[in-house]
Chain A
Amino acid sequence: MDQVFDKLAEIVGKEYVSNRSEELFIYSRDMGTMPPHKPDYIVLPASTSEVQKVILLANQEKIPVVPMGGGLVLSALTVPLKGGIVLDMKRMHHILEVNAQNRYAIVEAGTPQGRLQAHLQKKYPHLKHSIPDAPPMATIAGNILIHGSGHLSQATGFHSEMLNGLEVVLPTGEICRIGSCSTSPYWFSRAPLPDLAGLFIGWFGTTGVITKLAIKLYPRPALKDVLVFVTEEADIIPDILLKIVDTEMAEDLVVVASEYPSWTRDLQLTMINITANSDAEMNFKQGIIRECLHSYAKDKSGGFIDMPLMMKGVLLETPMRTVTRFADAREGGGFEYVGAIMPVGLFPQAYQAGVEIAARHELPYSMVIRVIGRCHSLMFAYGYPFNRGDSDDVEKARQALHDSNLASLEIGAIPWKTEEPGQQLIIKQMDPETLALMNRVRSLLDPNGIMNPGNWEEK
């Protein structure tokens, strides 16, 4: 008799807990290059109360708990490094409220991005939320908790900055509300209270289980278009980005540098997404953006390129399905990237490092860089497709990812949502007092050390 299994079954129902070899296999791995680690149980809770009961049981039994959203982080943050319970949150996928006037939505933590996207399109077509280029299965909560970014990040910052408040089950089982919802019936802001959301964002599920959250909604203009500016001088990219951002005319701003297709080799393509409510507004905005880069066009160091409508459609799609297709670029179904968060001025060094690392590992380079918060930072992704069926190729990609982490830290960037070995590199470079504070906070919140152990832990 497995008493833990029986107790979990009492909490969530027998059909929503498993310790069968099939589920243990699937939940022991993600799509990236990290090795698998088997959980002991997979549990699918349907409510905050069920999550609370699981956490209380885990404390009693001293079993690790790993919360999981879409499971699409690629860097194994939901792989249970020390076994235990994987808490797959996707049965909690309900949209609880859209407050159109006050511009926020409250969702359960397992709500996929796609579900909110479709709901808003149908019921509130004048509103949208910021959508990452991850597949629609990525959860809103998961993306916010890793400091994700998306189509509105140029204008409004990291997705974590779009968080208004949350409900969390603490590692000791208390249910706690953070932000205005702790004091008011409205989930409109984290200010003016002490910002306790920081206890949960960026911690990779080591400080609690988020069960509900509210995010900001933004207007959805009727029209969208994309301009593409091309250069082969990486050194001028920061200035190009700043010039565009300073016009206040672009919604999203992404630079792509890839060897695929072959004609783009050595080029940097800046995709400038523009939205408007009328043709006149669109033409005006495009005119201003073209004008701001006029000097580069004039001295022939760059220029706008035309694109067929089909290609524009691909670039304007949300989320972009082509990003997922890239996983099979080498007919191997594998893909992982290092997303390094960095100031805009580091672009040239980061680009050069990306080209060199790829060449060193005999891999094609592929870099996608999103502007965050009006050029206050960049999310610089070094992507490596690999053949899942070839263990040597997987290892090659893993090494390239490791080198990208090292190179990022060396130039002053910080790897984003990084896997456990990358976390060790960050910890090594981190101010010791910062690490000590992190450890104190964690010990205070999670005295039994049950929450996603193995992450953010100094080896």
Chain B
Amino acid sequence: MEYEDLIHRCFRCGYCKFTKDYGDFNCPSYRKFGFETYSPGGRMWLLRGWLEGEIPGTADLAGIFYSCASCGNCRERCVMNFREDLVDIFTAARTEFVEKGLTPPAVRDYFRNIQLSGNPYKLPQDKRGEWAAGLEIKPFKGQEYLFYAGCLGSYDDKGKEIAQKVAALLIGAGFDIGILGNEEHCDGNDVKVMGEAGLFQLLAEKNIAKFRDAGVHKIITLSPHSYNVFKNDYPNDQGAFTVMHYTQAVSAALEEGRVSFGELDTKVTYHDPCYLGRHNEEYESPRKILSSIPGLSLIEMERNSQDSACCGGGGGNVFTDILGGGPESPARVRVREAAATGAEILAVACPACARMLEDALKAEEGLEKRLRVLDIAEIADRAGINQKA
């Protein structure tokens, strides 16, 4: 296994479980399950035990590895020299589970759906572009930017609403964008993280070929997952394309004075998506957009920025739900944390976070009346988008 030479070096000291000030546990699976096995150190020791034949490869063992949300908190807090490799070590472990046929059924079905239908929902490819029907947005034909919606933005109900608002926001901010619609393919971020290296390679090849054929050079993504995988994992010979998350694009437009917002008198707390924040260190752009809305009061949660709590949807869990629900699920803990700030809106910048947190809100009695989960683009839409010349 890749990284096999590193795994015995974990001391299992537990720094990886914490926030920066040690005030709270911030590993989503350890916090939820409580057993040492669900901590990053526990996984390192289990992995070694499994590879050395001390414990069997069971469905339970695979479940422990697939309950990891790949949020990157462990990489942030580990004190050892191999910290940068931690998330990749767990991805490599999941590749081992794939190769040995030990993937949990939900993961197996996810891969199968991507392979056969091109998306996790088993929906037809010719429905992929439907989210944009009736909108001002055009198919990509040499515009400056490709707006990439991804699977959640194309098929999930909440994701589609967000994709529509993000497209409107980008157009309002003066971006010349087009979409691939039914010709778009899954970005493969979660496929890669779940360990299906071959399928990921196939998706990357398809997307790159499509970008090249269509003449795409600049991409703006709806999802931080897409942003992450295009930026960090796709082969990008000679910088054939550049990629931005939509909050980065809008933040730049704000800086250039190309857009402003109307007034919105509300209290908002912002939830950092792991693939924008910890994985790509983008904490400022979303806050800059929210702070630029007159009347909007931005309140931080206890766990924010590098210490942000994961919604529990990473590592494919938004589709597979191996991390699971219940009152102590990361998403339900997070919406309670958001409500405790007194905010009326829990702002997100990721359709996976939106899906996880909105579902969690429904499960928390009485919270739906006090708090709403809205993407930053939806908040901007409510405030009103003023395009400047």
Decide if B46 touches A26 in the complex (CB within 8 Å): yes
A335 at the interface (CB under 8 A from B): yes
- Choose one: B8, B9, B36, B37; the contact of A71 (CB below 8 Å): B36
Min distance, Cβ A96 to any Cβ of chain B, angstroms: 16
Decide if B11 touches A324 in the complex (CB within 8 Å): yes
Kindly identify, within residues 1 to 16 of chain B, every residue whose CB is under 8 Å from any CB belonging to chain A: 8-15
- C-alpha spacing A389/B35, complex, angstroms: 24
User: What is the 8 Å Cβ interface bit string for chain A, positions 167-186, against chain B (1 contact, 0 not)?
Assistant: 00000000000000000000
- C-alpha spacing A325/B79, complex, angstroms: 6
List residues of chain B with CB within 8 A of the CB of A332.
8-9
CB<8 Å pairs between A and B, sample of 17: A21-B56, A23-B35, A26-B35, A26-B36, A27-B36, A71-B36, A91-B34, A112-B22, A113-B22, A115-B23, A118-B22, A118-B23, A121-B21, A137-B15, A328-B9, A332-B8, A388-B9
B211 at the interface (CB under 8 A from A): no
List residues of chain B with CB within 8 A of the CB of A27.
36
Q: Which of B58-66, B243-251, B352-360 contacts A (4 or more CB under 8 A)?
A: B58-66
- B58 and chain A: residue at smallest CB distance: A21
- C-alpha spacing A90/B18, complex, angstroms: 13
Decide if B12 touches A31 in the complex (CB within 8 Å): yes
Decide if B34 touches A333 in the complex (CB within 8 Å): no
Known: A114-B18, A114-B23, A135-B13. A20 touches B60 (CB 8 A): yes
Decide if A88 touches B35 in the complex (CB within 8 Å): yes
Kindly identify, within residues 24 to 66 of chain A, every residue whose CB is under 8 Å from any CB belonging to chain B: 25-27, 29, 31, 42, 44
Min distance, Cβ A390 to any Cβ of chain B, angstroms: 9
A117 at the interface (CB under 8 A from B): yes
List residues of chain A with CB within 8 A of the CB of B13.
31, 72, 135, 137, 324, 327
- Choose one: A121, A137, A331; the contact of B14 (CB below 8 Å): A137
Decide if B37 touches A22 in the complex (CB within 8 Å): yes
- C-alpha spacing A387/B79, complex, angstroms: 18
List residues of chain B with CB within 8 A of the CB of A325.
79-81
List residues of chain B with CB within 8 A of the CB of A44.
34-35
Known: A25-B49, A112-B22, A118-B21. A328 touches B34 (CB 8 A): no
Min distance, Cβ B65 to any Cβ of chain A, angstroms: 10
A354 at the interface (CB under 8 A from B): no
Known: A114-B23, A115-B24. A333 touches B36 (CB 8 A): no
User: What is the 8 Å Cβ interface bit string for chain B, positions 40-66, against chain A (1 contact, 0 not)?
Assistant: 001001100100001110101100100
B33 at the interface (CB under 8 A from A): yes
List residues of chain A with CB within 8 A of the CB of B54.
25
Min distance, Cβ B257 to any Cβ of chain A, angstroms: 39
B17 at the interface (CB under 8 A from A): yes
Interface of B is mostly: loop
Decide if A16 touches B49 in the complex (CB within 8 Å): no
A376 at the interface (CB under 8 A from B): no
User: What is the 8 Å Cβ interface bit string for chain A, positions 5-18, against chain B (1 contact, 0 not)?
Assistant: 00000000001101
Kindly identify, within residues 369 to 383 of chain A, every residue whose CB is under 8 Å from any CB belonging to chain B: none
List residues of chain B with CB within 8 A of the CB of A334.
11
List residues of chain A with CB within 8 A of the CB of B10.
333
Contacts A328-B80, A335-B11 supplied; 4 other A-B pairs, CB < 8 Å: A20-B60, A22-B58, A26-B46, A332-B8
A205 at the interface (CB under 8 A from B): no
Task: For the complex of A and B, list the 3 residue pairs with the smallest distance between their C-beta atoms, beginning with the closest.
Answer: A114-B22, A118-B23, A137-B14
List residues of chain A with CB within 8 A of the CB of B55.
21-22, 25
List residues of chain B with CB within 8 A of the CB of A16.
34
- B56 and chain A: residue at smallest CB distance: A21
Kindly identify, within residues 187 to 210 of chain A, every residue whose CB is under 8 Å from any CB belonging to chain B: none
- A44 and chain B: residue at smallest CB distance: B34
List residues of chain B with CB within 8 A of the CB of A88.
34-36
A119 at the interface (CB under 8 A from B): yes
- C-alpha spacing A333/B46, complex, angstroms: 15
A122 at the interface (CB under 8 A from B): yes
- A120 and chain B: residue at smallest CB distance: B23
- C-alpha spacing A218/B46, complex, angstroms: 41
Known: A333-B9, A389-B8. A72 touches B14 (CB 8 A): yes
Known: A21-B58, A70-B14. A333 touches B22 (CB 8 A): no
A321 at the interface (CB under 8 A from B): yes
- C-alpha spacing A119/B23, complex, angstroms: 6
Instruction: Please indicate which of the listed interface residues A22, A25, A91, A121 has the most CB atoms of chain B within 10 Å of its own CB.
Output: A22
- C-alpha spacing A407/B36, complex, angstroms: 35
A84 at the interface (CB under 8 A from B): no
- Choose one: B11, B34, B35, B60; the contact of A21 (CB below 8 Å): B60
A148 at the interface (CB under 8 A from B): no
Min distance, Cβ B216 to any Cβ of chain A, angstroms: 44
- A110 and chain B: residue at smallest CB distance: B34
Decide if B14 touches A25 in the complex (CB within 8 Å): no
Decide if B23 touches A333 in the complex (CB within 8 Å): no
A150 at the interface (CB under 8 A from B): no
- Choose one: A72, A115, A387, A389; the contact of B22 (CB below 8 Å): A115
A157 at the interface (CB under 8 A from B): no
- C-alpha spacing A354/B60, complex, angstroms: 45
List residues of chain B with CB within 8 A of the CB of A389.
8-9
- B302 and chain A: residue at smallest CB distance: A122
- Choose one: A22, A321, A387; the contact of B60 (CB below 8 Å): A22
Decide if A23 touches B37 in the complex (CB within 8 Å): yes
Known: A21-B56, A25-B49, A328-B81. A122 touches B23 (CB 8 A): yes
Decide if B46 touches A321 in the complex (CB within 8 Å): no
- C-alpha spacing A27/B45, complex, angstroms: 11
Decide if B35 touches A42 in the complex (CB within 8 Å): yes
Min distance, Cβ A148 to any Cβ of chain B, angstroms: 16
- C-alpha spacing A31/B33, complex, angstroms: 22
Min distance, Cβ A25 to any Cβ of chain B, angstroms: 5
Kindly identify, within residues 292 to 341 of chain A, every residue whose CB is under 8 Å from any CB belonging to chain B: 321, 324-325, 327-328, 331-335
Min distance, Cβ A90 to any Cβ of chain B, angstroms: 7
Min distance, Cβ B304 to any Cβ of chain A, angstroms: 14
List residues of chain A with CB within 8 A of the CB of B34.
16, 44, 88, 90-91
List residues of chain A with CB within 8 A of the CB of B14.
70, 72, 135-137
- C-alpha spacing A327/B15, complex, angstroms: 13
- C-alpha spacing A406/B275, complex, angstroms: 53
List residues of chain B with CB within 8 A of the CB of A328.
9, 11, 80-82
